[in-house]
Amino acid sequence: MRSIPYGYKVMNGRAVIDQVEGKKVRDAFQMYAAGSSLAGIKQALEINRYHAGIDNILKDRKYLGTEFYPP
């Protein structure tokens, strides 16, 4: 399996949404849409990634729901 996106975990060989990290991803998108900064999102959600990591999450097309992961 390729590297798994933040917010997912592997269970029984399949990618499933991690309930804790998945909520952080959803909240990050909502906060960003509301105008929060990357640093603000990272701090508020206690996501242990660099600001660029948050930016990469927000730009990752896997989170759009238009494709099944893993394909």
pTM for the complete prediction? 0.80
Amino acid 27: pLDDT: 96
User: Are 16 and 9 spatial neighbours (Cβ–Cβ below 8 Å)?
Assistant: yes
Check residue 35 and give its pLDDT.
Answer: 97
- Cα Rg of the chain, angstroms: 12
Residue that has been written with the tokens 């991803």 in this structure? 25
Name the amino acid, one letter, at 5: P
pLDDT in tens, 17-34: 999 999 999 999 999 999
Phi and psi (nearest 5°) for 29?
A: -65, -40
